[in-house]
């Protein structure tokens, strides 16, 4: 019973649990620039589209069938579906669907997908309490700041060990967001963070299974529950994050505490959030983007003799599948990505369906893509040349793909992505109404007016 | 994105997720000795008494107030209370109360308190489905075997790092037990273990707060939910436990896989379960036991001039508080333990109340206890001498305290412990009926006949 801690304990850690609790409970509403405010709306809107888009996925069906065993009260909306469930289960299921297509937001500094845990918890709670859009945006910005700052503190060591960092920091962001939404004081917020700190969710071994999207869902549920427990007097260690046997020190050898405190309340991590334009791993994005640009320059599939790609070795290592057999394999094929980029000009979930991956027209073009490794080209870049049947060569160089921090999706492009996800589930009229409600979310008196639109 | 794992990955791990799934789903009902069968009944009975005993604790009030926010269906009993809640919340709350007094069972090889997560999940699910006592006992034995074998695989490294091993292995035991109760096949059970593997609960920094007992409760809920998800087709990695980025390798550098497979189905870890006779840390138990033995030999408090204790240094290091001010501090005072052992002959939750700790008679005797360190005495032993006012010396040597594996509580003593916990909550008649039902649990056609007795 008198064991020592495993790695060198840091006994001089600053009181980051307390610091974050004070920040979350005390920071003024909309206490940030208009750019941050707008990014929060974009983050929310992108998350909502992803969740609605995957509403009919078999992972959602399975999760809802399990939740139904609890005979839940109808407190909150399962986005994109007619079922309503208790708010903790809504947080779980919406967190699952928002990450099911791997199409959600990315905080590139940590590879955290922060909206999944935070927005899923906050919206479910807000719907139950009838909170305002203003309060939801505040909770989202502050919750994401907590999750990503703890992520910055531990990344990359924590991720390298095998933790799926989205779920293993997300419960803190969800707890912070829910505590803020419930207007909990500093001491209660500190307890909420403390209870959540005992519930990290997820390991990378689960990638490729439904348990991967379970991670943000489980984190959302854990954070929401932690806030409610703390509100009703449940206690936790006030140093649950930073103590030698607390969360951060146990799960990471990197403990850059300054990442919690540097510019706290001035720099907001949501500013560094990005949105995928394409429904696949980010490493193929430059190639898809390049082929879409070739299309814009007038290159047509039937003119193509050959597409020459020069890429970093990592691209072929991760996505070098030459002959994908189905939609999932298509997501790991830079060849398929190029073909749909040139044919359709976009690559949403539909372009990674079994039907498209096996479409003879797509297969034919895919076979004309020749990729060669050139490690002088950055991981985030690509050099593409279309060699046409008449001998012409059309060249495109992409240094930063669309969707990167350097070339973010425009609001119009985000709407295009949203519609591609949502129209098939809810129809055009509702997609339009939701879009309008999301862009003015901060002015919405009651988020129930939004969630009501998210049911068929 | 191409990070390496943190510590040396073990790429040759046997398929323990699959092995355990096959075992849990396929092992024959009551496929063990009568001794194991009886120990399972003792484990269940002891757990039930602990949970009912703490039913009115403020941790239970806070947890139930939070759960009430979900407007839960009345599926399962909150033990010792009139409320009924959905089965996942019942698993959570009963897991919390069973560990609130730190009075529950201990698998000494790992310091896991296995019944908390496993029995809390299994009984809540069994009540909802109307399962038989036979099925509950089977689920309990197999679930505890899974949790403790994974614990053996990782202990002590995993615990030393700061994990509260009860909650960080308990979700696996709970998932296994619930999968067994639902008669899930091998493949579904493997998925249940896989989903649960992503949800370890708890760090040791939380000791001393309500989040400590939250750990077995959270693990119970996680395991139950994982089984239900798997039953409805939710997927996880089939190697979620043993893969290089799976649960065990990420949270422990010790990976003694043979602990999973050695004598699997022949040796049952529940055989090594023990039950605390005294409501405090196990390190004081030999001293309390010794003083209770002095009492049995006729030593009365008013005769005592001095009590001389010789103990291992660890005893004073952990429980050397000379002047405890309240009940909680009393649990860390070997002096207080000796005083109540001599005065009352037992040391249940009542003897660690504020009233008893500040009782002048107790304080006076406490001040007559003189403890000296002697590291030739084992941690689990004590040498005690009562020096009486007439000059007589009465000597007792305890090598293994009552409640240890070498000197287990008898069934009658377990009943005494149970009654001290349960009678104040439910009254004598119900305590008697529950006791009768527990001893014949395996023959009970429907566990609802038992849970109905556990409400006021």
Distance CA(B273)–CA(B108), nearest Å, equals: 7
Distance CA(B273)–CA(B275), nearest Å, equals: 7
Question: Taking CB atoms and an 8 Å limit, are A203 and B239 in contact across chains?
Answer: no
Count of A-B CB contacts under 8 Å? 225
CATH number of residue A381's parent domain: 3.30.1330.120
For residue A161, which residues of chain B lie inside 8 Å, CB to CB? 5-7, 250
pLDDT at B6 over 80: no
For residue B4, which residues of chain A lie inside 8 Å, CB to CB? 160
Contacts for A193 with CB less than 8 Å, ≥ 6 apart:
A17, A20, A21, A146, A172, A175, A176, A179, A226, A236, A240, A241
Question: Taking CB atoms and an 8 Å limit, are B214 and A198 in contact across chains?
Answer: yes
Question: Taking CB atoms and an 8 Å limit, are A211 and B234 in contact across chains?
Answer: yes
pLDDT tier, A328 (very low <50, low <70, confident <90, very high otherwise): confident
- Length of chain A equals 456
CA distance B292 to chain A (A): 25
Residue of B nearest to A63 (CA): B229
**pLDDT tens digits, residue range B86-105?**
999 999 999 999 999 989 99
How confident is the model over A369-381, as a mean pLDDT? 94
Residues A240 and A300 in one domain: no
Residues A157 and A247 in one domain: yes
Strands, E, within A249-337: which ranges?
273-275, 304-311
Residue of A nearest to B207 (CA): A237
Residues B107 and B245 in one domain: yes
Q: Tell me which residue in B4, B58, B75 faces A71 most closely, judged by beta carbons.
A: B75
Question: Taking CB atoms and an 8 Å limit, are B198 and A206 in contact across chains?
Answer: yes
Question: Taking CB atoms and an 8 Å limit, are A195 and B215 in contact across chains?
Answer: no
pLDDT over 70 percentage in chain B: 98
CA distance A196 to chain B (A): 9
For residue B245, which residues of chain A lie inside 8 Å, CB to CB? 162, 203-205
- What is the ipTM, given to two decimal places? 0.95
DSSP A108: T
Does residue B193 sit within a domain?
Answer: yes
Does residue A417 sit within a domain?
Answer: no
Residues A107 and A272: beta-carbon distance below 8 Å: yes
SS3 percent helix, strand, coil of chain B, rounded to 5, is: 55, 10, 35
| Residue B254: domain span | 16-276+437-454
CATH number of residue A157's parent domain: 1.10.4100.10
* Per-residue pLDDT, A6: 55
Q: What is the pTM of this model?
A: 0.95
CA distance A412 to chain B (A): 29
Rg for chain B (alpha carbons), in Å? 22
pLDDT tier, A147 (very low <50, low <70, confident <90, very high otherwise): very high
Closest CA to B333 of B381, B400, B280: B280
Mean pLDDT, all residues of chain A:
96
Residues B310 and B358 in one domain: yes
pLDDT tier, A318 (very low <50, low <70, confident <90, very high otherwise): confident
Structure tokens belonging to residue B111: 């310091």
User: What's the domain count of chain A?
Assistant: 2
Distance CA(A5)–CA(A358), nearest Å, equals: 54
For residue B194, which residues of chain A lie inside 8 Å, CB to CB? 206, 209, 211
User: Residue A303 half-sphere exposure, CB side, CA atoms within 13 Å?
Assistant: 16
* Per-residue pLDDT, B435: 98
Residues A266 and A306 in one domain: no
pLDDT tier, B5 (very low <50, low <70, confident <90, very high otherwise): very low
Residue of A nearest to B201 (CA): A199
Question: Taking CB atoms and an 8 Å limit, are A246 and B61 in contact across chains?
Answer: no
Distance CA(B435)–CA(A298), nearest Å, equals: 83
Contacts for A360 with CB less than 8 Å, ≥ 6 apart:
none
CA B216 to chain centre: 9
Does residue A414 sit within a domain?
Answer: no
Q: Tell me which residue in A69, A164, A198 faces B201 most closely, judged by beta carbons.
A: A198
Residue B251: C-alpha distances to residues A169, B244, B277, B317 (Å): 16, 11, 32, 28
Question: Taking CB atoms and an 8 Å limit, are A206 and B229 in contact across chains?
Answer: no
* Per-residue pLDDT, A208: 87
Residues A88 and A219: beta-carbon distance below 8 Å: no
**Run of H or E residues at A20:** helix A16-26
Strands A84-85 and A76-77: antiparallel
Residues A151 and A120: beta-carbon distance below 8 Å: no
* B317 against A124, higher pLDDT: A124
Q: Which residues of A407-419 are buried (b: 16+ CB within 10 A; e: fewer)?
A: ebbeeeebbebbb
Other C-beta atoms closer than 10 Å to the C-beta of A358 total: 14
Mutation for testing the A interface, residue in B62, B203, B249 having most A CBs under 10 Å: B203
For residue B225, which residues of chain A lie inside 8 Å, CB to CB? 66
Q: Tell me which residue in B218, B235, B246 faces A205 most closely, judged by beta carbons.
A: B246
Q: Domain end: A351, A380, A398, which one? A: A398
Question: Taking CB atoms and an 8 Å limit, are B237 and A206 in contact across chains?
Answer: yes
Q: Tell me which residue in A66, A111, A243 faces B225 most closely, judged by beta carbons.
A: A66
Distance CA(A95)–CA(A107), nearest Å, equals: 16
Residues A287 and A198 in one domain: no
For residue A198, which residues of chain B lie inside 8 Å, CB to CB? 164, 167, 201-203, 206, 211, 214-215, 218
Mean pLDDT, all residues of chain B:
96
Residue of A nearest to B231 (CA): A66
Distance CA(B121)–CA(B178), nearest Å, equals: 7
For residue A167, which residues of chain B lie inside 8 Å, CB to CB? 198
Question: Taking CB atoms and an 8 Å limit, are B6 and A63 in contact across chains?
Answer: no
For residue B5, which residues of chain A lie inside 8 Å, CB to CB? 160-162
Question: Taking CB atoms and an 8 Å limit, are A203 and B7 in contact across chains?
Answer: no
Closest CA to B348 of B290, B405, B409, B277: B277
pLDDT at A7 over 70: no
Does residue A65 sit within a domain?
Answer: yes
* Per-residue pLDDT, A294: 97
Residue of B nearest to A91 (CA): B70
* Per-residue pLDDT, B332: 87
Cis omega (within 30 of 0) for bond into A156: yes
Distance CA(A212)–CA(A193), nearest Å, equals: 23
pLDDT tier, B214 (very low <50, low <70, confident <90, very high otherwise): very high
> SS3 of B264, please?
strand
* Per-residue pLDDT, B294: 97
* Per-residue pLDDT, B4: 40
DSSP B345: S
How confident is the model over B175-197, as a mean pLDDT? 98
Mutation for testing the B interface, residue in A234, A238, A284 having most B CBs under 10 Å: A234
Distance CA(B202)–CA(B168), nearest Å, equals: 6
* Per-residue pLDDT, A90: 98
Residues B262 and B316 in one domain: no
Residues B222 and B261 in one domain: yes
Does residue A253 sit within a domain?
Answer: yes
H helices of B155-273, where? Answer: 157-160, 165-181, 186-197, 211-231, 247-251, 258-261
For residue A205, which residues of chain B lie inside 8 Å, CB to CB? 237, 239-240, 243-247
> SS3 of A77, please?
strand
Residues B55 and B100: beta-carbon distance below 8 Å: no
Distance CA(A115)–CA(A50), nearest Å, equals: 10
Residues B218 and B167: beta-carbon distance below 8 Å: yes
How confident is the model over B417-433, as a mean pLDDT? 97
* Per-residue pLDDT, B8: 79
Residues A271 and A298 in one domain: no
For residue B157, which residues of chain A lie inside 8 Å, CB to CB? 6
How confident is the model over B234-263, as a mean pLDDT? 97
Closest CA to B241 of B251, B232, B231: B251
Residue A395 phi, psi dihedral angles, 5° rounding = -115, 135
Residue of A nearest to B161 (CA): A6
How confident is the model over A424-448, as a mean pLDDT? 98
**pLDDT tens digits, residue range B15-71?**
999 999 999 999 999 999 999 999 999 999 999 999 999 999 999 999 999 999 999
* Per-residue pLDDT, A369: 97
Strands B304-311 and B382-388: antiparallel
Residues B382 and B444 in one domain: no
Question: Taking CB atoms and an 8 Å limit, are A195 and B202 in contact across chains?
Answer: no
* Per-residue pLDDT, A151: 98
Question: Taking CB atoms and an 8 Å limit, are B314 and A4 in contact across chains?
Answer: no
Distance CA(A352)–CA(A360), nearest Å, equals: 14
Which of A319-323, B190-194, B225-229 bottoms out in mean pLDDT, i.e. has the lowest? A319-323
Distance CA(A120)–CA(A132), nearest Å, equals: 16
Closest CA to B361 of B278, B304, B309: B304
Given the structure tokens 């479910």, which residue do they identify? A124
Closest CA to A104 of A47, A166, A48: A47
Residues B272 and B297: beta-carbon distance below 8 Å: no
* Per-residue pLDDT, A5: 44
Does residue B418 sit within a domain?
Answer: no
* Per-residue pLDDT, B252: 97
* Per-residue pLDDT, B281: 83
Question: Taking CB atoms and an 8 Å limit, are A233 and B58 in contact across chains?
Answer: yes
Which of A4-18, A439-453, B165-179 bottoms out in mean pLDDT, i.e. has the lowest? A4-18
Q: What distance, in Å, lies between the first and last C-alpha atoms of chain A?
A: 57
* Per-residue pLDDT, B282: 84
DSSP A157-190: HHHHHTB-HHHHHHHHHHHHHHHHHTT--HHHHH
Does residue B413 sit within a domain?
Answer: no
Residues A87 and A128: beta-carbon distance below 8 Å: yes
Residues A447 and A131: beta-carbon distance below 8 Å: yes
Q: Which residues of A127-142 are buried (b: 16+ CB within 10 A; e: fewer)?
A: bbbebbbbbbbbbbbb
The C-alpha angle B335, B338, B342, rounded to 5 degrees, equals: 145
Distance CA(B115)–CA(B370), nearest Å, equals: 37
For residue B211, which residues of chain A lie inside 8 Å, CB to CB? 194-195, 198, 234-237, 240
* Per-residue pLDDT, A4: 40
Residues B357 and B385 in one domain: yes
pLDDT at B291 over 70: yes
Structure tokens belonging to residue B156: 């002590």
Cα-Cα-Cα-Cα torsion B396, B398, B399, B402, nearest 10 degrees, comes to 150
Question: Taking CB atoms and an 8 Å limit, are B63 and A229 in contact across chains?
Answer: yes
Does residue B365 sit within a domain?
Answer: yes
**pLDDT tens digits, residue range B105-147?**
999 999 999 999 999 999 999 999 999 999 999 999 999 999 9
Mutation for testing the B interface, residue in A69, A168, A220, A253 having most B CBs under 10 Å: A69
Distance CA(A286)–CA(B2), nearest Å, equals: 18
- Length of chain B equals 456
Distance CA(B125)–CA(A389), nearest Å, equals: 67
Residues B270 and B40: beta-carbon distance below 8 Å: yes
Residues B256 and B313 in one domain: no
Given the structure tokens 């014949």, which residue do they identify? B440
For residue A211, which residues of chain B lie inside 8 Å, CB to CB? 194-195, 198, 234-237, 240
Distance CA(A278)–CA(A331), nearest Å, equals: 10
User: Residue A176 half-sphere exposure, CB side, CA atoms within 13 Å?
Assistant: 35
Question: Taking CB atoms and an 8 Å limit, are B229 and A162 in contact across chains?
Answer: no
Cis omega (within 30 of 0) for bond into B156: yes
* Per-residue pLDDT, A8: 79
Residues A30 and A37: beta-carbon distance below 8 Å: yes
């Amino acid at each position: 019973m008198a064991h020592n801690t495993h790695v060198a304990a840091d006994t001089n850690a600053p009181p980051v649990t307390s610091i974050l609790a004070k920040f979350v409970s005390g920071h003024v509403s909309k206490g940030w620039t208009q750019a941050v405010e707008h990014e929060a709306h974009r983050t929310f809107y992108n998350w909502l589209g992803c969740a609605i888009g995957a509403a009919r996925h078999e992972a959602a069906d399975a999760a809802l069938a399990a939740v139904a065993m609890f005979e839940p009260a109808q407190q909150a909306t399962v986005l994109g579906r007619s079922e309503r469930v208790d708010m903790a289960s809504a947080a779980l299921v919406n967190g699952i669907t928002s990450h099911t297509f791997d199409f959600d937001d990315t905080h590139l500094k940590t590879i955290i997908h922060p909206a999944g845990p935070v927005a899923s918890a906050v919206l479910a709670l807000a719907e139950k309490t009838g909170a305002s859009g203003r309060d939801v945006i505040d909770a989202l910005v502050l919750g994401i700041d907590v999750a990503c700052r703890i992520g910055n503190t531990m990344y990359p060591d924590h991720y390298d060990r095998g933790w799926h960092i989205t779920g293993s920091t997300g419960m803190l962001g969800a707890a912070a967001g829910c505590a803020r939404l419930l207007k909990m004081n500093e001491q209660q917020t500190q307890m909420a963070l403390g209870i959540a700190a005992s519930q990290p969710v997820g390991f990378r071994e689960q990638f490729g299974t439904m348990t991967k999207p379970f991670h943000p869902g489980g984190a959302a549920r854990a954070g929401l529950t932690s806030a409610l427990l703390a509100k009703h007097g449940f206690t936790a260690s006030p140093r649950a994050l930073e103590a030698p046997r607390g969360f951060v020190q146990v799960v990471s050898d990197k403990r850059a505490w300054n990442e919690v405190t540097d510019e706290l309340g001035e720099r907001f991590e949501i500013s560094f959030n990005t949105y995928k334009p394409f429904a696949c791993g980010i490493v193929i994005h430059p190639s898809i983007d390049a082929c879409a640009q070739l299309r814009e320059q007038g290159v047509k599939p039937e003119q193509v003799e050959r597409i020459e790609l020069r890429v970093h070795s990592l691209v072929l290592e991760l996505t070098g599948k030459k002959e994908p057999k189905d939609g999932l394999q298509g997501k790991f094929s830079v060849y398929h990505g190029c073909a749909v980029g040139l044919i359709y000009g976009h690559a949403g979930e539909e372009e990674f369906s079994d039907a498209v991956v096996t479409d003879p027209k797509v297969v034919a073009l895919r076979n004309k893509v020749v990729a060669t490794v050139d490690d002088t080209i950055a991981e985030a870049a690509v050099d593409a040349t279309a060699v046409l049947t008449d001998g012409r060569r059309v060249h495109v160089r992409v240094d930063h793909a669309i969707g990167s921090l350097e070339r973010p999706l425009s609001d119009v492009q985000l709407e295009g992505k949203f519609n591609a996800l949502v129209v098939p589930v809810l129809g055009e009229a509702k997609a339009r109404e939701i879009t309008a409600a999301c862009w003015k979310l901060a002015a919405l008196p009651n988020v129930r007016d939004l969630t009501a639109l998210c049911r068929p």
